[in-house]
Amino acid sequence: KSLEEVEAAVSLDSSERTFDSDLVVDLPLSFPVRLCFDGLSQRLHLIAVDLSSQAETGFPSGSMITISYSKDVVAAQGVKPTFSTLLSAFGTAPDGSYDVETSSYHVSYDGLAFEFPVQRSDFEQWSAKSGEDHPLASRPHCAASRLWVFAPGSSWRSPSLWKIPRPLDVVPGEGIAIRGRKLLLGASAQDVYSDLGAPESQCVRAGGFDAHQAEFDHSRSPDYYLNYPGLGIDVLVHGSSHTVSRFVLHTNQPGHELFCRYSRCFYSISVPGPKRSEAKVASAASNSSGTREIASAASPG
């Protein structure tokens, strides 16, 4: 699936707090799967698979995918994911739960939940008739409409959240601290290679120079970027001295022109106050532009 197709399918929160809501990617209609990424960590934590081939679900007839467990086919074209099918494949079902908001009953296993569309009135009648049996036991041919996949120990309602990686430290006017090392403004390109490894790509800066430099020296080599999209970092290197003049940190802000082209870089900025012991820390999540630049005083802009 191309990046353009994925970006076109990303659902974004209309508010400014885009990191508070899941990023949702709907795959093509021929593959009815929804991927839910935690808004803050931007890691996949929930998968929803539509098991219905009915036209009213929004998926075309014949789009049902095949789901199997061991040698048992749970859902496929011509095979409905009924309650009896689940019992055959997974064994005795644990107690489920009814969700009033979605009018559905969920049969959950560790890391899986099957959603059955059940009206509340029907559920109450079934529960009353089944007594101590499972509520769906009296309707063994009732088919699940959706499958939820999540991390073991969590649920489809509250999927596990990924642990946020330790942020790199930013010292304004000096540089950054990453992987236990300090990479300072004015460091050589060799220092960057030593601390971060070889860049994934390298490109000449658009325009070649800072605006204030261009009027002084047109003969020197243009500035260039060392790109580390996996780390969410770009390093601007002076064309002649081959020393670091700027760091660009990407937050992978939804809606930004570079969204999905860089991993999210978590960072904290220590801002000295009147007293050094009273430093304030700014969170990367508060940055709405999608990038943060740390430049030396000799290279503004």
pLDDT at res. 53 = 57
pLDDT at residue 11 tops 50: no
pLDDT for the residue numbered 217: 54
Mean model confidence pLDDT for the chain = 76
- Residue 254, pLDDT > 90, answer no
- Tens-place pLDDT, residues 179-219: 889 999 999 999 999 999 999 999 998 765 554 444 545 56
Residue 36 pLDDT > 50, yes or no? Answer: yes
What are 84-119's pLDDT values in tens digits? 888 888 887 666 788 888 888 888 888 889 998 888
The structure tokens listed for 49 are 């698979």
Flag whether pLDDT at 248 surpasses 90.
yes
pLDDT of residue 237: 95
pLDDT reported for residue 273: 65
Higher pLDDT, residue 39 or 4: 39
**Lowest-confidence region among 70-74, 122-126, 144-148, 210-214:** 210-214
Higher pLDDT pick, 140 / 85? 85
Residue 142, number of CB atoms within 10 A of its CB:
20
pLDDT at 59 exceeding the cut of 50 = no
pLDDT exceeds 80 at position 296: no
- Count, residues in the chain: 301
**Which range, of 13-17, 65-69, 121-125, 169-173, averages the lowest pLDDT?**
13-17
Whether residue 26 has pLDDT greater than 70: yes
Average pLDDT over residues 127-148: 73
Name the pLDDT band for 278 (thresholds 50, 70, 90): very low
CA–CA separation, 211 vs 299, rounded Å? Answer: 9
Residue 129 binned pLDDT confidence (cut-offs 50, 70, 90):
low
Best-predicted range by mean pLDDT (22-26, 27-31, 148-152): 148-152
Rounded percentage of the chain residues whose pLDDT exceeds 70: 69
pLDDT at 290 over 70: no
| Mean pLDDT, rounded, for 10-39 | 71
What pLDDT is stored for residue 225 in this prediction? Answer: 95
What confidence score (pLDDT) does residue 247 get?
Answer: 95
Task: Over range 62-83, report the average pLDDT.
Answer: 78
What are the CA-CA distances from residue 13 to residues 17, 23, 208, 254, 258 (Å)?
Answer: 8, 8, 37, 9, 18
Average pLDDT over residues 130-158: 77
Q: Which one is predicted more confidently, 252 or 2?
A: 252
Q: What is the mean pLDDT of residues 285-301?
A: 49
Q: What is the Cα–Cα distance from 107 to 90, expressed in whole angstroms?
A: 11
